[in-house]
């Protein structure tokens, strides 16, 4: 008996099959996945939130999210995105390159936004699915597209369950990330190989600049001007209170993006372990001040530094580890 109704893979509504768009399921082989007309032909607004929580992580520590920007996606690709519970949104920065006006004012462009994914397993499988979609012409990623990746370790909470870690990271942003940006500038080909592209206006370098200014005594002096740590367009965006966003990412292949996600999760774990946890662990702070008393004071003759000096020191140590992680994945 012929099927009369079907459930939309995205909104979950039930509609007559004759009024729906059906494609082979990207996840279930020969089975047909259906979209209602509304979900198949319209994108949600840019700031819409995807509240889905997906996947498993036995330790319940690593959480991630993906913003997949594309210049074109056909019905098969759109259904595949829906099966992974990605939400279609519009983004005026994307260029459809003449693919038509299928999704309203953005032409054929779409930014697919994932829900909260526990662990890397689901994200890794998604990357392989996208590799198939791109390779077979169902999905297109052009010069205007990025594939931003959000990473959180235990929602960036401290030992008391408070979301304080991102505040610490913002406070010492330049100490943490300027050395990494410098290593990437010095290796542009490796940077593009790993991330899929080089720095852009939407994923900016944070190189400090030198300006000459006149002080209160009327004497000209050189001043170091750092990038705004609160800018959402930095290549590492830390404005969110629960995750770090890597904005330079661009999908090139499944293997490349899997490797990139793995590197960035390792970086965030490094930041949490080697920097953030030192803010809230009392014994760590005592050990750190003892270290300074034994080493720093002996080497320089200076008095015992303040907590701020210690924290900056830990940020600088962590920064070296971030550079080492980048160099490991870049085979430098």
Q: What is the pLDDT of residues 123-144, one digit of tens each?
A: 999 999 999 999 999 999 999 9
| Least confident span in 64-68, 72-76, 104-108, 248-252 | 104-108
Specify whether 73 is located in the same domain as 130.
Answer: yes
> What was the pLDDT predicted at 229?
94
85 occurs within a structural domain: yes
At residue 298, does pLDDT exceed 70?
no
pLDDT top residue among 183 and 31? 183
Q: Which helix (H) or strand (E) holds 330?
A: helix 307-330
At residue 309, does pLDDT exceed 80?
no
From CA 44, how far away is CA 24, in angstroms rounded? 24
Can you tell me the mean pLDDT for 192-213? 93
> What was the pLDDT predicted at 293?
62
In order, the DSSP letters of 121-155 are HHHHHHHHHHHHHHHTTSEE--TT--EEEEEEEGG
Specify whether 136 is located in the same domain as 263.
Answer: no
At residue 9, does pLDDT exceed 50?
yes
68 occurs within a structural domain: yes
> What was the pLDDT predicted at 264?
98
Can you tell me the mean pLDDT for 86-98? 83
13-49 burial code (b ≥16 CB/10 A, e <16): eebeeeebbebebbeeeeeebbbbeebbeebbeeeee
| Residue that the structure tokens 């909104």 belong to | 11
User: Do residues 126 and 231 touch, judged by C-beta distance below 8 A?
Assistant: no
Specify whether 61 is located in the same domain as 21.
Answer: yes
| pLDDT grade for 287, boundaries at 50, 70 and 90 | low
> What was the pLDDT predicted at 296?
57
Can you tell me the mean pLDDT for 148-170? 85
At residue 101, does pLDDT exceed 70?
no
Express as a percent the part of the chain with pLDDT over 90.
Answer: 52
pLDDT digits (tens, 9 = 90+) for 11-50: 999 999 988 888 887 766 667 888 999 898 888 888 888 9
188 occurs within a structural domain: yes
Name the residue range of residue 320's domain: 156-330
> What was the pLDDT predicted at 197?
97
Specify whether 108 is located in the same domain as 132.
Answer: yes
At residue 330, does pLDDT exceed 70?
yes
Specify whether 276 is located in the same domain as 180.
Answer: yes
pLDDT top residue among 164 and 63? 63
Domain's final residue, options 89, 114, 145: 145
Domain count, the chain: 2
From CA 16, how far away is CA 9, in angstroms rounded? 14
150 occurs within a structural domain: no
> What was the pLDDT predicted at 1?
47
How many residues appear in the chain? 332
Specify whether 139 is located in the same domain as 252.
Answer: no
309 occurs within a structural domain: yes
At residue 104, does pLDDT exceed 50?
no
In this structure, what token pair is assigned to residue 264? 């960035």
Express as a percent the part of the chain with pLDDT over 70.
Answer: 84
At residue 103, does pLDDT exceed 60?
no
Specify whether 234 is located in the same domain as 178.
Answer: yes
Task: Look over the chain and give the mean of its residue pLDDT values, rounded to a whole number.
Answer: 86
Domain's final residue, options 100, 120, 145: 145
Specify whether 125 is located in the same domain as 226.
Answer: no
Domain's final residue, options 145, 173, 198: 145
At residue 308, does pLDDT exceed 90?
no
Specify whether 57 is located in the same domain as 168.
Answer: no
Specify whether 301 is located in the same domain as 217.
Answer: yes
Query: For the whole model, what pTM was predicted?
Result: 0.86
Specify whether 256 is located in the same domain as 291.
Answer: yes
User: At 5, phi and psi to the nearest 5?
Assistant: -125, 155
């Amino acid at each position: 008996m012929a099927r009369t109704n079907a459930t939309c893979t995205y909104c979950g509504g039930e509609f007559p099959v004759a009024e729906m768009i059906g494609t082979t399921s990207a996840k279930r082989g020969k089975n047909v996945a259906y979209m209602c007309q509304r979900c198949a032909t319209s994108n949600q607004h840019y700031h819409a939130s995807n509240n889905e929580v997906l996947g498993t992580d036995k330790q319940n520590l690593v959480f991630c999210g993906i913003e997949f920007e594309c210049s074109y996606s056909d019905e098969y690709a759109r259904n595949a995105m829906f099966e992974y519970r990605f939400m279609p949104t519009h983004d005026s920065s994307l260029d459809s390159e003449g693919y038509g006006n299928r999704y309203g004012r953005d032409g054929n462009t779409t930014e697919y936004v994932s829900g909260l994914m526990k662990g890397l397993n689901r994200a890794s499988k998604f990357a392989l699915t996208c590799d198939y979609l791109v390779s077979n012409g169902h999905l297109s990623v052009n010069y205007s597209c990025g594939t931003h990746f959000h990473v959180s370790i235990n929602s960036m909470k401290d030992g008391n369950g408070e979301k304080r870690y991102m505040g610490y990271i913002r406070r010492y942003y330049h100490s943490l990330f300027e050395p990494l940006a410098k290593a990437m500038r010095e290796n542009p080909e490796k940077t593009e190989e790993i991330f899929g592209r080089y720095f852009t206006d939407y994923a900016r370098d944070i190189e400090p600049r030198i300006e000459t200014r006149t002080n209160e005594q009327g004497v000209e002096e050189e001043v170091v001007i750092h990038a705004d740590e609160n800018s959402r367009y930095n290549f590492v965006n830390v404005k969110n209170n629960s995750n770090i966003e890597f904005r330079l990412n661009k999908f090139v292949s499944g293997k490349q993006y899997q490797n990139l996600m793995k590197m960035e999760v390792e970086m965030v774990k490094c930041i949490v372990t080697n920097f953030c946890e030192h803010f809230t662990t009392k014994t760590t702070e005592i050990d750190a001040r003892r270290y300074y008393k034994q080493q720093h004071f002996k080497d320089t003759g200076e008095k015992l530094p303040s907590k701020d000096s210690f924290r900056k020191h830990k940020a600088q140590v962590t920064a070296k580890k971030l550079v080492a992680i980048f160099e490991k994945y870049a085979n430098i």
